[in-house]
Amino acid sequence: MTATLTDEKKSDDKKISLKIGIPREIYPNECRVSATPDTATKLQKLGFTILIETQAGEKASFSDRVYEEIGCKIIHNKKQLWQEADIILKVRPPEQEEVNLLDSKKTLISFIYPAQNPELLRELSDKKATVFAMDAVPRISRAQKLDALSSMANIAGYRAVIEAANNFGRFFTGQITAAGKVPPAKVLVIGAGVAGLAAIGTAKSLGAIVRAFDTRLVVKEQIESLGGEFLELEFAEDGSGEGGYAKTMSKEFIDAEMALFAEQAQEVDIIITTALIPGKPAPKLITEAMVSSMRQGSVIVDLAAEQGGNCEVTKPNEVYKYNGVTIVGLTDLPSRMASQSSQLYGTNLWHLLKDMGGNDNFTVNLEDEVIRGALVTYQGDVTFPPPKIAQPSPTTTVKPEVKIVTSESKKEKKSNSGLLWAVLAVLALIGIGIGAPSSFLSHFTVFILAVFVGWQVIWNVTPALHTPLMSVTNAISGIIIIGGMLQISGELTSPTTILGAIAILVGTINISGGFLVTQRMLKMFRR
C-alpha cells in the first residue's frame, strides 16, 4: 500500500514543488537545526522548495544570509512557516504550540521518542498528521544512512570525553618532564555501542589508558581495535539483544558486573557510562558507594542522564561535585557541537526524503520496512510500534544420500598418505646418496637445510611484514646468485651445473620482483 502526497498537488501540465519548512528549535538550549546550507542545497536538487524560519540556524553558525544565497526563502513568522510548509523537518519533538500548528495535510519528520511520549503520540494522531520518528528508523543495513540515533550518539561519545577532560584537571596522556613524571589517565567506558566506541577512540587518541565493558561479547574485537582493554566476566551469558542493543541480564550476571564496577571505580580516574535499554529507564550501574570510593578529582560523565542516568547521583542537565567527584549529567552533548550535529542529522533527513521519492514522487510506502518502521502516526492512526517483519519459511529440499565419513577413517587415510610420502622421500634420498658424487652431496645437504630454515623464518613472520621482508631477502638472493655462478663452471649436463643455473634464474627473478614491489609500495606513500 502506498500513499502519494503529490497526487493532489500536481496539475496535468506542471509539477508543483513541495515546500519543506525548517523551524527554529524552541526547546531550551537546543542549538541544532534540521537543515544546513549544504543539506538544504541537496534537498533543492530533489525538487523541494526550502523555507527557513529566521535565525533557525544562528546558534549553529548558519546565518540567514547564507541560506538566502543558496535560494532558500526566509520566513519571519513561525505560524506562517508552519502554514505554508507541506513537510516540517525538526530536531526535537514538537512542543505543544507546534503540535497545534499541524493538520492532516502536513508531514512532520523529527525525533519523537514514541515509546517515552505516548501522550504526544496521541495528540499527533488527533491532528491526523503524517509523522515520522527519526529515532524509530529500523537498525538494519539498508537503513544505516538514515540512522540519526547513531549520528548523534557518535558526537555524544566524542563530546563526553571532551567534557571529562575539561573537568578532570590533569593530562590524559602520560608525560616525563624535567619537573617529574605524569601518569596517564585511566578511563572506564561502560557500554560499547556507537557512543561508547566513539568515547573509547577519543580517549585513546588523547593518550589515556582505556578500559571498556559491555554485556555483548561481540564488541570485544571492536574495543580492542580502538586500543581499549575489554573487561570480560567469566560468564557464558551474552547480552546481545534485538537491533544491536543490549538486553536485560540475569541477576547473577548483574551482581558480577556490579562487583567489577566497584573494583574499577577505585582504580580509574574517569568513568563514562552509555548503557541504555530501549523503552526502559537507564539501568543503575554506578552506585553512591562506588562514587564515594573514587579518588578526589575523578569525573563521571553519564550519557544516559536524560533517561534517568546510569549513576545513582546523576542530576540531569547539571554538572556538580559529589564528595570531590565531578558528576556530568549534561543531556545536550550533540547540541554543544551544533554545526557538526546539524550537518549529520540533515544528511540523514536528506537520505530519507530521497528514498521517499524526492519532490516528484514523494510517497509514503507502507510496504517499505524502513519507511513503515519510522512512521508513527498516519491518517489519524497511531502506527507505532510497527509490525515485526515476517521471516520467510525455510523451503524444504530433498537432499541426496550422502555417505558419512567418520573422523576416524579420515585420520586413518591421512596417516596412511603421510607415511607413504615419508617412505618415498627416504628412498629418494637414498637413491641420490648412492648415485651422486660426494661434492654434490655436501651442496645438497646445505640446500635442504636452507630450504628448511627459510621455510621456518618466512612462515613465522606476520603477513604485514612480508613486503619489507622481501626487500631484505634481495641481499640473500644476491649471495645465492654468486654461489650459483661458482657452480656452473663444470660440465653442462652435471646436476651441479643445472642446479646452479636454476639458482641464478630464481635469484634474479626474486631480486627484480622484490625491487619492483618495494618501489611500488614507496610510491603509495608519496604525495
Domain ranges of the chain: 19-145+338-382, 152-336, 431-525
Give 332-342 pLDDT, tens digit per residue.
999 999 999 99
Of 150, 151, 335, 487, catalytic: 150
Q: Higher pLDDT residue, 499 or 30?
A: 30
- Lookup: cell for 96: 505543544
Q: Is 295 a catalytic residue?
A: no
pLDDT above 70: residue 439: no
Of 86, 147, 269, 302, catalytic: 147
| DSSP letter assigned to residue 343 | H
CATH fold match for the domains 19-145+338-382 and 152-336: yes
Which range has the worst mean pLDDT, 147-161, 165-179, 275-289, 492-506?
492-506
* Strand-strand pairing, 130-133 and 175-177: unpaired
The Cα diameter of the chain in Å comes to 104
Of 83, 144, 175, 250, catalytic: 144
Q: Considering the chain, what is the average pLDDT of its residues?
A: 86
The secondary structure of 263-274 as a DSSP string is: HHHTT-SEEEE-
The reply to whether CATH 1.10.10.10 applies to domain 19-145+338-382 is no
Q: Is 139 a catalytic residue?
A: yes
Amino acid at 248: T
pTM of the model: 0.72
pLDDT above 50: residue 474: yes
Give 25-64 pLDDT, tens digit per residue.
999 999 999 999 999 999 999 999 999 999 999 999 999 9
Q: Higher pLDDT residue, 163 or 435?
A: 163
Q: Is 269 a catalytic residue?
A: no
Give 201-230 pLDDT, tens digit per residue.
999 999 999 999 999 999 999 999 999 999
Q: Is 150 a catalytic residue?
A: yes
Bond preceding residue 28 cis, omega within 30 of 0:
no
Distance between CA atoms of 307 and 116, rounded to whole angstroms? 9
- Which of left, alpha, beta for 71 (phi over 0: left; psi -120 to 50: alpha)? left
Whether residue 198 contacts residue 149, with contact meaning beta carbons closer than 8 Å, is answered with no
Q: Which residue in this structure is represented by grid cell 509490525?
A: 387
Of 55, 238, 245, 494, catalytic: 245
Which range has the worst mean pLDDT, 61-65, 134-138, 514-518?
514-518
Whether residue 346 contacts residue 35, with contact meaning beta carbons closer than 8 Å, is answered with yes
Give the pLDDT confidence score for residue 381 in this predicted structure: 94
Of 27, 139, 368, 494, catalytic: 139
CA 479 to chain centre: 49
pLDDT above 50: residue 6: no
Whether residue 91 contacts residue 112, with contact meaning beta carbons closer than 8 Å, is answered with no
C-alpha triplet 164, 170, 172: angle, nearest 5°: 70
Sheet holding 49-53, edge to edge: 73-75, 49-53, 19-22, 87-89, 107-110, 130-133, 375-378, 381-382
- Lookup: cell for 293: 570510593
Superfamily classification of domain 152-336: NAD(P)-binding Rossmann-like Domain (3.40.50.720)
Give 311-335 pLDDT, tens digit per residue.
999 999 999 999 999 999 999 999 9
Q: What is the mean pLDDT of residues 389-399?
A: 49
Q: What is the mean pLDDT of residues 158-176?
A: 96
453 pLDDT band (50/70/90 cuts)?
confident
70 pLDDT band (50/70/90 cuts)?
very high
10 φ, ψ (degrees, to nearest 5): -100, 130
Give the pLDDT confidence score for residue 405 in this predicted structure: 46
Q: Which residue in this structure is represented by grid cell 498528521?
A: 129
Q: Is 61 a catalytic residue?
A: no
Which range has the worst mean pLDDT, 68-77, 346-355, 431-440, 500-509?
431-440
Helical residues (DSSP H) of 367-465, grouped into ranges: 369-374, 407-435, 438-459
